[in-house]
């Protein structure tokens, strides 16, 4: 082990390696009762981030009341539901976004998709049609996507090509300027306690690094 330089506290070394970040955690599990492994993973990430001095806010999509968008006109010109104003404010505030959701029918739950459609509106995430200047309005932010699933993660990654996660990364987050986007695919979530503990520790470490 290489000794650290004398006179430099560990806390100072950490801040030098991982400057304080503003982190928005978006919990996309649609069950408002909570208690799922994805909730525990988000709590582990938040705990690590707070312990390292990062600022953390959390949005629980299942606790919000909003309608689904049904027309292009409503997306472009309709009023944002009041329940989602804090979500847009959180995204504007954040430097790093972390999404947690379970894989349902090969993709994100419908409630999370509806949330993203409402929040990522023209004028907020994208420039309004015909508006001069940058089109992607959420540049300068990074993200991580944490997905839990019952199948082995390599099976989803290689056989199913992680299709829906790639669509989120490229067609939603990348489309509005969020980059880089990293991912954590967590399979066999109903497996043994040792595997779960390892993932909880991994997410806490990622939170400490704001990664």
Average pLDDT over residues 38-52: 98
SS3 call for 104? strand
Tokens of residue 128, six digits: 């309004």
Give the lowest-confidence range in 13-22, 78-87, 138-147, 153-162.
13-22
| Cα-trace Rg, the chain | 18
Which tens digit of pLDDT belongs to each residue from 88-145?
A: 999 999 999 999 999 999 899 999 999 999 999 999 999 887 777 668 999 999 999 9
Tokens of residue 126, six digits: 């994208």
pLDDT of residue 201 exceeding 90: yes
Which tens digit of pLDDT belongs to each residue from 145-192?
A: 999 998 888 887 876 767 888 899 999 999 999 999 999 999 998 878
Average pLDDT over residues 30-39: 96
Please provide the DSSP assignment of 123-187 as one string: TTTBPPTT--S-SBTTTT-EEEEEEE-SS-HHIIIIISTTHHHHHIIIIIIGGGT---EEEEEE-
**What is the pLDDT at residue 12?**
44
Select the CATH number that applies to the domain covering 20-72+80-119+135-209 from these four: 3.30.390.50, 3.20.20.30, 3.40.50.360, 1.10.3720.10.
Answer: 3.40.50.360
SS3 call for 56? strand
User: Helices 193-209 and 37-51: crossing angle, nearest 10°?
Assistant: 40
pLDDT of residue 2 exceeding 60: no
**What is the pLDDT at residue 4?**
34
Instruction: Kindly list the domain boundaries of the chain, sorted by start residue.
Output: 20-72+80-119+135-209
């Amino acid at each position: 082990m290489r000794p650290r330089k004398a006179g430099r506290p560990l806390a100072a070394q950490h801040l030098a390696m991982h400057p304080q970040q503003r982190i928005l955690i978006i919990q996309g599990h649609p069950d408002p009762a909570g208690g799922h492994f994805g909730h525990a993973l988000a709590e582990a990430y938040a705990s690590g981030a707070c312990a390292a001095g990062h600022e953390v806010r959390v949005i629980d999509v299942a606790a919000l009341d909003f309608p689904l968008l049904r027309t292009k006109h409503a997306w472009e010109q309709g009023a944002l539901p009041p329940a989602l104003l804090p979500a847009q404010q959180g995204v504007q505030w954040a430097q790093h976004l972390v999404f947690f959701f379970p894989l349902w029918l090969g993709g994100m739950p419908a409630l999370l998709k509806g949330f993203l459609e409402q929040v990522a509106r023209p004028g907020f995430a994208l420039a309004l049609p015909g508006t001069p200047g940058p089109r992607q309005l959420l540049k300068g932010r990074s993200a991580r996507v944490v997905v839990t699933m019952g199948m082995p993660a390599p099976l989803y990654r290689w056989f199913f090509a992680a299709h829906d996660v790639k669509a989120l990364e490229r067609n939603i987050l990348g489309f509005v300027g969020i980059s880089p986007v990293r991912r954590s695919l967590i399979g066999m979530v109903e497996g043994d306690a040792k595997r779960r503990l390892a993932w909880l520790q991994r997410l806490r470490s990622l939170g400490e690094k704001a990664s």
